Amino acid sequence: MNNTIATLTTVILALFLSLTQSTFSYAEDGRTEWQKPTPVFKQDFDWIKLASDEWLKGDIISMYDEKLEFDSDELDMQTIDLEDIAELRSKEWQSIRMFDGTIDEGYLVIKDGKLSLVKNGVTTHYEFSNLLSIASSGKNERDLWDGYVNLGINLREGNTVQFDYTFSAGIQRRSSSSRFKTDYTADYSRYEDNKTEETTVTADSERLTSSYDWFFNPKIYFRAADFEYMADDFLNLDYRIHYGIALGYHIVDTSRTSWDVNLGPSYQKSKFLDVKEDESDSEDSFGLTLGTDFTFEISSDIDYEASYNVQVIDEASGGNIHHFQTGLEIDLTNDFDLDLTFYADRTENPKEDSEGQVPEKNDFRLVVGLGYDF
């Protein structure tokens, strides 16, 4: 009897140990085979997975020069290098342009180095490395636009009463194959003599520029329209209107650096405020315009920009007219930034007024302003 009980006890103990070991082994195997859960994607967001394994949700704005502009739901506007994107899923149709000139649109998915467009139930695959640009499809027109407003003010009271301001604003529309830009700048300055209370204006000018570029090649673009309007009381200029076309070329086009040049014919008409009796108050001329634009990302928060153009026209219309602009854009918070901009303008042959006074050839100014991007 005792032997039977001992035998049963041994069998029960062996079964218990076997089950316990099996349970521990299963739990251990479960730990080694555990995998991250698959994210649940909501269709009211675009999603990006970074190379660091982090996910961002928000809205795709555009991609060009190997940089993606992404309006994060939590982090606001972000500029992300294309090489840092491991996966992307769009909520709406996007338009893409490839280096071979191919343009297509659909729901965009990037994963494992492959790019796919899904439309009408059909999936088309492309090489991610051949992607040139991304823009919202024409179905989402408002997503193609962005802009900025910048204001710099100087106020002085006391022994010197002075008021200066520089206002600039611009809008831009970018698609996968074209770019439209319009920029406006106004500069005004005055001071008041405390003794005589006489107010003197020392600067009063405005400039409006607009251009339309069509990218028919990864390196070459055609500037189908180049327009400029300028007025400057101290340059004896009622207005100056410039029209032109040009051919442009990307000298450098990387994720951090961009350098373009463009060259083309132009026509200019100028009207002057005050001239001698025997001279015409307006001049027009055909000419040639050369321009260049350079941008460099110093860091994730600081960008450097420089642009220069020269208009070669006849002496009566002003001779060679130069415009140079350079500065830093420093991100502060959300969509606000601090702008430090230097302007230099030169007119080789400014128009003499009726009293024989000739305006200065050179104008320089340094502006510190607060900007807002939208």
Looking at residue 354, which CATH number applies to its domain?
2.40.160.40
Supply the pLDDT for residue 28.
Answer: 46
Domain boundary among 136, 162, 196: 136
**DSSP alpha helix (H) spans, the chain:** 2-32
Residues 91, 202, single domain; the answer is: no
Supply the pLDDT for residue 5.
Answer: 52
Residue-wise pLDDT for 184-215, tens only, equals 999 999 888 777 778 888 889 999 999 999 88
Amino acid found at 101:
G
Tell how strand 145-156 and strand 161-174 pair up.
antiparallel
Residue-wise pLDDT for 79-95, tens only, equals 888 888 889 998 888 88
Residue 94 lies in a domain: yes
Q: What phi, psi does 143 have (nearest 5°)?
A: -75, -10
Residue 4 lies in a domain: no
Q: What is the CA radius of gyration of the chain?
A: 32
Residues 237, 127, single domain; the answer is: no
Residues 110, 212, single domain; the answer is: no
* Full residue range of the structural domain in which residue 270 is found: 144-373
Residues 123, 236, single domain; the answer is: no
Q: What phi, psi does 198 have (nearest 5°)?
A: -90, 130
- What is the DSSP annotation of 33-80? T--PPPPPPPTTSEEEEETTS-EEEEEEEEEETTEEEEEETTTEEEEE
DSSP one-letter code for 298: S
Residues 30 and 270: their CA atoms lie apart, in Å, by 81
Q: Are 104 and 133 in contact (CB under 8 A)?
A: no
Domain count, the chain: 2
Lowest mean pLDDT across 47-61, 144-158, 318-332: 144-158
Residues 110, 158, single domain; the answer is: no
Residues 162, 94, single domain; the answer is: no
- What is the DSSP annotation of 56-69? EEEEEEEEETTEEE
**CA atoms within a 13 Å half-sphere pointing along the CA-CB vector of 358:** 7
Residue 12 lies in a domain: no
Domain boundary among 114, 136, 158: 136
| 260: CB partners within 8 A, 6+ apart | 248, 249, 250, 251, 292, 293, 294
Q: Are 236 and 276 in contact (CB under 8 A)?
A: no
Amino acid found at 176:
S
Residues 166, 206, single domain; the answer is: yes
Q: Tally Cβ neighbours within 10 Å of residue 88.
A: 24
Residues 322, 303, single domain; the answer is: yes
Q: Are 174 and 135 in contact (CB under 8 A)?
A: yes
Residues 135 and 122: their CA atoms lie apart, in Å, by 20
Q: Tally Cβ neighbours within 10 Å of residue 60.
A: 25
Residues 54, 199, single domain; the answer is: no
Nearest to 181 by CA among 291, 344, 338, 90: 291
pTM (two decimals): 0.69
Domain boundary among 106, 136, 166: 136
Nearest to 181 by CA among 262, 60, 297, 90: 262
Residues 246, 107, single domain; the answer is: no
Residue 221 lies in a domain: yes
Please write down the long-range contacts of 75-78, taking CB distance under 8 Å and 24 or more positions apart: 76/334, 76/335, 77/334, 77/335, 77/373
Rounded mean pLDDT of the chain?
Answer: 83
Residue 31 lies in a domain: no
Residue 8 lies in a domain: no
**Residue that the structure tokens 């009408």 belong to:** 120
Residue-wise pLDDT for 339-371, tens only, equals 999 999 999 999 888 888 899 999 998 989 999
